[in-house]
Amino acid sequence: MKDPANDPLDRLLLDDARRPLPDDGFSLRVALALPPARRPSPWLRPALVLGSAAIGSAAAWLLAPAGTSLAQGFVDLARFQSQTPSALAAIALALAMAVTAAVLVAEEN
C-alpha cells in the first residue's frame, strides 16, 4: 500500500493525501476560538501576602512581653541597644515588611 510505484490508484491517493492544504486563516480561527487564558485575580496574591504579614504582626504584638512598643524599639535601636524586646520587635517588623515588599515586587515582575 505504501509503495505506490506499480499502482496508479495508490499513487493518486497518496499524491492527494500528501498535497498540503493551504491554511486559509484556519489556524487563526482556531486560536480565536480557544477559551481565554485562566489568570488568577491580580489582587489575590498581594492580598494573601499582606494579610499574612498583618496577621503575623498582630500575633507578634499580642504575644510580645508587656511594655514592648515599636516606638521604644526604634529609640533603643537609635541608641545601639539591639537586644531589648522592643528593639527585636522593631527589627522583626522591618524584616517582615522587607520580605513582603520583595514578594510583591517579584509578583509584579
Partner 1 sequence: MTGRPEPADAELVLAVVVRDDRHAFARLVQRHQSMVRSVLRRLARGDHGLADDLAQETFLLAWRNIRSFRYDARFSTWLYRIALNAWLSHARKRREVLLDDPDDAPEAPPPDEGIPAADRIDLERALAGLPDGERAAIAACYYADLTHEEAAEALGIPLGTVKTHILRAKVRLRAKLGKEEPR
Contacting positions for partner 1 (CB under 8 A):
1, 6-9, 12-14, 16-17, 19-21, 23, 26-27, 29-31, 33-35, 37-38
- Supply the minimum distance, in Å, between the C-beta of residue 109 and partner 1: 17
- Reduced to 3 states (helix: H, G, I; strand: E, B; else coil), residue 49 is helix
Q: Residue 32 or 63: which CB sits closer to partner 1? A: 32
- Integer Cα distance of 91 and 10 in angstroms: 81
CA distance linking residue 36 with residue 38, whole number of Å = 6
Nearer to partner 1, 24 or 71 (CB): 24
Establish how many alpha carbons lie within 13 A of residue 98's alpha carbon, considering only the half-sphere containing its beta carbon: 6
Q: C-beta of 27: minimal distance to partner 1 in Å? A: 5
